[in-house]
Amino acid sequence: MNLAPKLSSSSDSVEKSPSPSVPPAVHSGDDVCIELRRLHRFFGDTKAVNDVTFSVRRGHVFGFIGPNGAGKTTSMRILSTLDLPSYGDAFVDGFSVVNDPELVRKRLGFMPDSFGTYRDVNCREYLDFFARAYGLVGQDRSRRLQWVLDFTGTGGMANKPIRGLSKGMKQRLCLGRALVHDPAVMILDEPAAGLDPRARIELRRMIRELADRGKTILISSHILTELAEMCDSVGIIEQGRLLATGSVEEIQAESQNLSELTLRVLNRQDEVASTLAQLNDTIPMDNIIVDGQFVRFGFSGNTSDQAAIVTLLVTQGFQVAEVSAHKKSLEDLFLQVTEGLVQ
């Protein structure tokens, strides 16, 4: 039984591209396991996905970040063969979502932001239904069901009706549904939405463990601090365009004002600001602000530059009591890269 819906090929819903510029598919043995190549999806005049290209290595977790309406879910639906691109292509484990959707579905586990659960069946029956749909039979199906129940922590509720599960346990169950056929790639759309802190911590642990087992995971979330902790790389998208991609450190390195340096100075704070402004030619800094005893400024130097600043100030008689550096977080980078635009 094939769970993914059949897609209409009518020109009303999908504008196929004659463009020969999309490179050939990656072989499944290559290191790249998810790849979007010049992906476009238009709905009338709305460019939901507009020339998006990125790749995710096998066994890595990729965080997909963007405001509501940025194109994240549309991109994920295309990767999951639930929609077709207007043009461009996407590859899962080396297979094209356009040319080989059946092969993609065998290698993919998709957990959408909203999902259906059957209230009057229990957890084991629910997972067993999907295992059968993927063609698992006999002892293979029994072993796989038990592994999924154990891994997701739902084994103790195997015989409990789904209607009696909490939000967190339903999320675990639906993660198990996406895992039941042992896919190489996982697509998770807002899996932590509505979960309490403990449930989010457990979900984060399971995602990292799956990556350690070699699964490639693409995950979208609005909880950026958690993405920064669990993801090997991230992509920031807005109005259908990919604005930045790479590890958090790489995006930080490409951004200006990587950190904010704060000095607590006990005397002559205004003179400190003037002295720092004179150093700008040798040590890049900007937006120097004096706030009582504190002097703050944007700073893109290294620790040696920090030491040089403190040494200079102390030798000139300034009483520097504290030094602290705040490196920009993923949330800071998101706010810096995006403009809050919607379509």
Round to whole Å and give the CA distance between 35 and 131: 27
Round to whole Å and give the CA distance between 222 and 259: 23
Average pLDDT over residues 316-337: 77
Looking at residue 2, what is its pLDDT? 38
List strand residue ranges (DSSP E) for 206-283, in order: 216-220, 233-238, 241-246, 259-265
Query: For the purposes of burial, counting CB atoms within 10 Å of the CB of 198, is it exposed (0-12), middle (13-18) or buried (19 or more)?
Result: exposed
- At residue 174's C-alpha, the angle toward residues 170 and 175, to 5°, is 115
- Top CATH class, 256-327: alpha beta
Indicate the range of 7-21, 56-70, 84-98 predicted with least confidence.
7-21
Q: What does the block give as tokens for 258?
A: 């990587």
Q: What is the pLDDT of residues 87-114, one digit of tens each?
A: 999 999 999 999 999 999 999 999 988 7
Distance of CA 254 to the CA centre of its chain: 19
- Contact predicate 57/216, CB 8 Å: yes
- CATH 3.30.70.100 placement within the chain: 256-327
Average pLDDT over residues 282-306: 81
Looking at residue 286, what is its pLDDT? 73
Q: Which residue has the higher pLDDT, 277 or 82?
A: 82
For 164, which DSSP code?
A: G
- CATH 3.40.50.300 placement within the chain: 32-107+183-252
Q: Which residue is listed with tokens 């530059």?
A: 305
Average pLDDT over residues 278-307: 80
- Contact predicate 215/291, CB 8 Å: no
In this structure, how many other beta carbons lie within 10 angstroms of the beta carbon of residue 98?
21
Q: Give residue 277's pLDDT band: very low, low, confident or very high (50, 70, 90).
A: confident
Closest by alpha carbon to 88, among 188, 4, 15, 6?
15
Looking at residue 214, what is its pLDDT? 93
Strands 32-43 and 46-57: antiparallel
Q: Which residue has the higher pLDDT, 195 or 135?
A: 135
Q: What is the pLDDT of residues 237-267, one digit of tens each?
A: 999 999 888 887 777 666 554 577 889 999 9
3-state secondary structure of 122: strand
- At residue 98's C-alpha, the angle toward residues 95 and 102, to 5°, is 60
Mean pLDDT score of the chain, rounded to an integer? 83
| pLDDT greater than 50 at residue 179 | yes
Highest mean pLDDT among 15-29, 244-258, 307-321: 307-321
Q: What is the pLDDT of residues 194-250, one digit of tens each?
A: 788 888 888 889 999 999 999 999 999 877 877 877 899 999 899 999 988 888 777
Closest by alpha carbon to 290, among 306, 267, 308, 311?
267
Round to whole Å and give the CA distance between 92 and 49: 18
> Is the pTM higher than 0.75?
no
3-state secondary structure of 247: coil
Round to whole Å and give the CA distance between 257 and 332: 11
Average pLDDT over residues 59-63: 95
Round to whole Å and give the CA distance between 160 and 43: 42
Looking at residue 108, what is its pLDDT? 96
For 26, which DSSP code?
A: P
Q: How is domain 32-107+183-252 classified at the CATH fold level? A: Rossmann fold (3.40.50)
